[in-house]
Structure 1
Amino acid sequence: MVAQLVRLKLTLLANAFRRSVWQTIGLVVASLYGLAVLVLVVVAAVAGGTLDAATTGQVLTVVGGLVILGWWVVPIFAFGVDATLDPQRFVTFAIPRRRLLAGLAAAGVVSVPGAVTALAALGVSFAWWREPLALLAALVGAVLAVALCVVGSRATTTALAPLLDSRRYREVLMVVAVVPIVLIGPAFGWIAENVEKSVDGASVQVSVDGGSGAALGDAVGPLARLVAWTPFGAPWALPSAVHDGAWGLLVARLAVAVATLALVWLVWDRALARALVTPRGGAAAGAGKGLGWFSRLPATPTGAVAARCATYWVRDPRYAASIAIIPLLPVMMLVVGLTSGAGGSLMLVVAPLVAWLLGFGISNDVGYDSTAFALHVATGVPGRADRWGRVLPVLVVGLPLTVAFALVGCGVADRWDALPAMLGVSCGTLATSLGISSVVSARLVYPVPKPGESPFKTPQGATVATMVAQMAAMGIIFVLSIPTLGLALPAILLPQPALGWAALAVGAAAGTIVLVVGVRWGARVLDRRRPELLQQVMAFR
């Protein structure tokens, strides 16, 4: 059964190369990028182990702990539950649950991230090539680390997936998700500050000791010893214990890693057992009153599309991610600014980020429509009405919100002289993002969770396709924003108030032009590709 599931996963991965050209390009780019990172990491680890094995082991413990933590946390809030081998698809086959668990765990390595992590874990183990016993412990730790990555990721996503069917739990998790993001900046700032202090304090001894490894070891050592006692760092710290001759410490760290693996396996087992007998999905039927936005907007094609899209933004949990993070952006920037010494000046970045998030939020609206897009095709909704209907709700709400964030940012940073430039950049970014998104959503459609499904679920092929589409759209938005940025940055940094007013005029004019041209272009593309878009959307079912 394990071999059968692995072959099935390989077949699905191979079929991704035949589904579309964009997925093939994305998989090739992701594979080449992963291979480059893999070679760089392994070469650096082996070279560091040759020069100073003890310090290299400490660095690998910290970095390896972050890798396992990332495997556990990132899929929940970024990519979601891997749906290529959805366990609920195997309900009617009556496969014993433990065999299914083992097969899904082995198949979890069959992916670009899984393969890169496994090869990197085995490759960095050869940093201990000079000590056979330490190398053996490193290889054992690498196997445990990869198992913790895969099983822990499956356990967290499977266990939390049912909670997302409740809107209240979804909102709480969205807030909780941002807490680690807020702490990333201060954590890295604290680490960098302590490393700098340690290096400066040890600089006098470097000439005596004959190398800089001691300074780095003094900086990373305390953190590595702490991480080594956590489930995330314990498997990576096994060879360090062998190197130091601390056999009791080796047994303790091995026990932590094995016990954690057994615990997450048990959690995954219980969560999978519940998932196999408790179907998820299906939107809850609510007791709606009235027609909502449909009774408030004009009874025209544009008004109908705008009413439906406004309902999406208010009630569809799949849009919750881009909305939930907006109120927390000022908090994140303020915390990062205070801990990094930049102060309130980072608040100036909030308004452009909010504008970009809101504008880019409709870049895959056709994909989020799912089978409802068939109504647009059957009724012959004009492309221009479709495009403006999707843009107007975001523009009506996003423009005052962007202006408000620009005012708050300038007030907190005490840079009222930068207000014209900030308004130009922010409003220009909002209009430009909406214009580009109007074209992108009519040209590039990628899989998204279906209506009623968990928003953390990732359909087959969605990760790579999403990455390609978003990178292309972000690149175009940045290029079109260069004229405004070329005026706004000198106006803010020098400062030059005259350039700020020029940036406001250029940003408003350029954004309006891009918005109008983008909507018209997207409308023509939509009218021409309507059958192909419907075919793509139906293929995602």
Structure 2
Amino acid sequence: MVARFVTLKLTLMGNTFRKSVWQTIGMVVAALYALGVVGALVTLVGALAYVGDPAWAGLAITLGGALTVVGWWIIPIFAFGVDATLDPHRFATYAIPRRTLLAGLAVAGLVSVPGIATVLVAIGTSFAWVLEPGVLVVALLGAVLGVATCVIGSRAITTLLAPVLESRRYREVVTIVAVMLVVMTGPLIGWLANDVEVSVEADPGSGSSMGMLLLPLFEQAAALVGWTPFGAAWSLAGTAHDGDWAGLAGHLAVALGTIGLAWLVWDRALARALERPPVGDGSGGKAKGLGAFGRVPFSPTWAVAARTATYWVRDPRYSGSIAIVPLLPVVMYVSAQSTGNFFMLLATGPFVAWILGFSISNDVGYDNTAFALHVAAGVDGRADRWGRAIPMLLVGPVVCVATVVVSVWIADSWHLTLPLLGLSLGLLLVGTAVSCAVSARLVYPVAKPGESPLKSPQGAATATIVSQGLGFLVTAGLSLPVLAMGVAALMLGGVLWGAATLVVCVLYGALILVLAVRFGARVYNRRLPELLQQVQSFP
């Protein structure tokens, strides 16, 4: 039965190569990237073992393995719905013993690009102890237990939290938290690196011994992590190399206990899910008027605008991208503090404007099957294009003005307010214009409604890069007059130059927007059936 599950998973993976060219390219790129990462990690650990001290390899395996387990356990909570293949609920009507089902799902969970990469890294790094056969056997045992900890723990957590993960409110909150963590990672790393650099400059002699200072920290961290469920299995080889047999027995007990407890939790959670599947209570939500539709004029253009505005408020795929905007001033401020250069902070306004303008470049793709309503209702291209742009034109300028005012206030550069406003509003209009034109021609797969905004459909990576790359080039080319005018005003200074920049950039952006909407409307009307077919074919 376990072999049958593996066969089913391999068949599902093989079928992804037959659906579309983009999925095939995406799978190949993901596989090549994973092989590159595996080769780099195995080479690094091997170099630590043969060139340096073998104990360093043990530290790297313990800490790296613990991070791998954390990733396997935590990422599914944020990226819910990443792997919906072999859903246990689909086997509820079959007379499969639960223990057999658990074993099959556990082994089949490794049949994926991340799973295969984890197995290859675990086995490859174990051969860092090839010169010590006894330690090598222990390392291979630790690799098996470590991989089992990853898979079984991940399945146990996602199955246990399934009722919560299916909550829409949970998905919205988790999306915003995940985006905030991703955005703030870079500034925090830069801040820590700056602190290290400052300490080295204060004591130049400490730079040469930085590695010797960090090694005890790594040793202490590895010693602590080795007694946790995350690193117990990965620390077995290092403990055997040190000859600490009591510690080896303790780490082995923690690893086996973790796997046993995770298996028990998974078994109980799966039994609950299969025997008492979650069902709706039928209450639903209570309608309170027409919402945005009751506040706009009665016309196709404003109907599309109301629907788009509703998406921005209620769809976590949109709200997740909006959550980045308030964090950008914080990110830029941290970067400015670490470098001592407030240029990045002053560039926040134009950067926010560019992000907002380009954020609607794949609106048709986000519609998914709901785009059929536009086709069935016969919505004209101009009404569709303007309807998608109006919410951005109403909210975007307010956000850009607020961002510029906050940035010049923090940097105490009020004399740059007008040029920065001109830059920001001009880039917002140009970006919105390009989005109105591009979204009628270049559509790529995105997460479906109700799925995790962090989920990337198979085959979408290459299409996204190509589409966004072309859109970025067009936006950059059309933004050159705005950038030239803004840079000139910033360099020359003066109120007149600032006011001229504001007026010229806004007028230029408005002209580009009108022309782009007309172009996008013609393309939309001509390609309407092809757009619907393309959107409905997305995986």
Q: Scaled by the length of structure 1, what TM-score is found?
A: 0.82
Question: Aligned AA for 1:93?
Answer: Y
Residue 56 (structure 1) aligned with residue 35 (structure 2): no
Whether contact under 8 Å (1:195, 1:220) holds in the other structure is no
Q: Which residue of 2 aligns with 1:143?
A: 144
Match of 2:286 in 1: 287
**Secondary structure at the counterpart of residue 119 of structure 2:** helix
Q: Which moved more, 1:488-497 or 1:239-248?
A: 488-497
CA distance in structure 2 between the partners assigned to 1:358 and 1:117 by the alignment: 37
For residue 278 of structure 1, report the CA deviation from its aligned partner.
2.5
Deviation at 1:310, TM superposition (A): 1.3
Q: Distance in 1 between matches of 2:344 and 2:152?
A: 39
Partner residue, 1:467? 461
Kindly state the Cα deviation for residue 401 of structure 1 after the two structures are TM-superposed: 0.9
What residue number does 1:251 align with?
A: 249
**Closer, same or farther in 2 for the Cα pair 1:434/1:124, shift >3 Å?**
farther
Q: Distance in 1 between matches of 2:448 and 2:189?
A: 33
In percent, how many aligned pairs have the same letter?
50
Where 2:110 maps in the other structure, the secondary structure is: coil
1:404 is displaced (CA, Å) by 1.0
Distance of 1:432 and 1:171 partners within structure 2: 30
> Greater CA deviation, 503-512 or 96-105?
503-512
Cα deviation for residue 71 of structure 1 reads 2.7
Cα 1:509–1:435 shift into 2, 3 Å: same
Alpha-carbon distance in structure 2 between the residues aligned to 1:325 and 1:267: 36
Equivalent AA in structure 1 for residue 302 of structure 2: G
Q: 1:381 to 1:56 in 2, by over 3 A?
A: same
- 1:46 corresponds to 2:46: yes
Name the counterpart of 1:209: none
Deviation of the 1:307 alpha carbon: 1.2
- Distance in 2, Cα, partners of 1:142 & 1:417: 61
The C-alpha deviation readout for 1:424-460, integer Å capped at 9, x for no partner, is 554455445434444246532425234xx453695xx
Stretch of structure 1 that moved more, 523-532 or 285-294: 523-532
Distance 2:229 2:489 in 1: 49
Distance 1:507 1:282 in 2: 54
Alpha carbons 1:64, 1:236 under 8 Å: kept: yes
Q: C-alpha distance in 1, partners of 2:230/2:197?
A: 22
The Cα shift of 1:507 comes to: 6.3
1:369-398 Cα deviation digits (max 9, x unpaired): 333222212222122322221222123112
After superposition, the Cα gap between the structure-2 partners of 1:512 and 1:473, relative to the gap in structure 1 and judged at 3 Å, is farther
Match in the other structure for 1:208? none
Check conservation: 1:358, 1:394, Cα contact below 8 A: yes
Q: Distance in 2 between matches of 1:23 and 1:323?
A: 28
Q: Provide the rounded CA distance (Å) in 1 between the counterparts of 2:199 and 2:211.
A: 15
Change (3 A) 1:233 1:95: same
Alignment of 1:350-389 (within 5 A): 350-352=348-350, 354-389=352-387
Counterparts of 2:165 and 2:324 in 1: how far apart (Å)? 17
Contact 2:229 2:258 in 1 (8 A): yes
* CA gap 1:373/1:414 in 2 versus in 1, 3 angstroms: same
2:25 aligned partner: 25
Equivalent residues of 1:437, 1:473 under 8 A apart = no
Question: Take 1:19 and 1:264, find their aligned partners in 2: how far apart are those partners?
Answer: 36
Partner Cα separation in structure 2 for residue 385 and residue 531 of structure 1: 17
Residue 400 of structure 1: how far off its partner (Å): 1.1
Structure 1 counterpart of 2:393 = 395
SS in 2 for 1:236: coil
Amino acid paired to 2:375: V
Are the structure 2 counterparts of residues 221 and 267 from structure 1 closer, same or farther at C-alpha, using a change threshold of 3 Å? same
The 8 Å contact of residues 359 and 433 in structure 1, kept in 2 or not, is answered as yes
Q: Which amino acid aligns with 2:48?
A: G
Superposed CA deviations along residues 40-62 of structure 1, whole A, max 9, x for unmatched, are 22222212211122223323333
Letter of the aligned partner of 2:469 in structure 1? Answer: G
The 3 A distance-change label for structure 1 pair 314 and 494 is closer
Matched AA of 1:252: G
1:32–1:183: structure 2 CA closer, same or farther, 3 Å change rule?
closer
SS of the residue 1:496 aligns to: helix
SS at match of 2:526: helix
Contact 1:162 1:280 in 2 (8 A): no
Cα separation, partners in 2 of 1:420 and 1:274, compared to 1, 3 Å: farther
1:16 and 1:23 in contact (8 A); partners too:
yes
Residue 532 and residue 107 in structure 1: after superposition, are their counterparts in 2 closer, same or farther (change >3 A)? farther
The separation in 2 between residues aligned to 1:494 and 1:229, in whole angstroms, is: 61
**Counterpart position of 1:316:** 315
Provide the rounded CA distance (Å) in 2 between the counterparts of 1:14 and 1:398.
44
Partner of 2:178: 177
Determine the C-alpha separation between the residues in 1 that align with 2:354 and 2:66.
33
The question of 1:305 aligning with 2:300 is answered no
**CA deviation map 1:149-184 (0-9, x unaligned):** 333333444444432554544454345435644466
Q: Deviations over 1:254-288 (max 9, x none)?
A: 33333333333344444434444324689973222
Amino acid at match of 1:17: F
> How far apart in 1 are the matches of 2:92 and 2:525?
41
Q: Supply the RMSD in Å over aligned alpha carbons.
A: 3.9
Once the two structures are overlaid, the 10-residue window that deviates more, 312-321 or 268-277, is: 268-277
Alignment CA distance shift 1:108-1:251 (3 Å):
same
Q: Shift in Å at residue 333 of structure 1?
A: 4.9
Task: Tell me, yes or no, if the aligned pair for 1:164 and 1:455 is still in contact at 8 Å.
Answer: no
Shift of the alpha carbon at 1:305? 1.1
Q: Distance in 1 between matches of 2:45 and 2:305?
A: 54
The separation in 2 between residues aligned to 1:43 and 1:506, in whole angstroms, is 56
User: 1:496 maps to which residue?
Assistant: 491
Match of 2:111 in 1: 110
For 2:296 and 2:289, the matched residues in 1 are separated by: 13
Query: Which shifted more, 98-107 or 35-44?
Result: 98-107
Letter in 2 for 1:186: L
Matched residues in 2 for 1:417 and 1:409: separation? 12
Distance change (3 Å), C-alpha of 1:490 and 1:371: closer
2:5 counterpart letter in structure 1: L
SS at match of 2:178: helix
1:164-211 deviations in Å (ceiling 9; x for gaps): 554544454345435644466436744785699699666667xxxxxx
Q: Relative to 1, partners in 2 of residues 1:411 and 1:260: Cα closer, same or farther, differing over 3 Å? A: farther
Q: How many residues align?
A: 529
* CA-CA distance at 1:10 after TM superposition: 1.6
- The equivalent residue for 2:229 is 231
SS of equivalent residue, structure 1 residue 299: coil
What is the DSSP-based 3-state SS (H/G/I as helix, E as strand, rest coil) of the residue aligned with 2:457? Answer: helix
Alpha-carbon contact 2:190-2:335 (below 8 Å) kept? no
TM-score of the superposition, structure 2-length normalised? Answer: 0.83
Listed one character per residue, the Cα deviations across residues 6-56 of structure 1 (whole Å, up to 9, x for unaligned) are 222222222212211112222222222222222222222212211122223
Distance 2:261 2:344 in 1: 42
Determine the structure 1 residue equivalent to 2:525. Answer: 527
CA separation in 2, counterparts of 1:327 and 1:354? 9
* 1:307-366: CA deviation from partner (whole Å, max 9, x where unpaired): 11112222234433223443344445555665x465876544644554455444434433
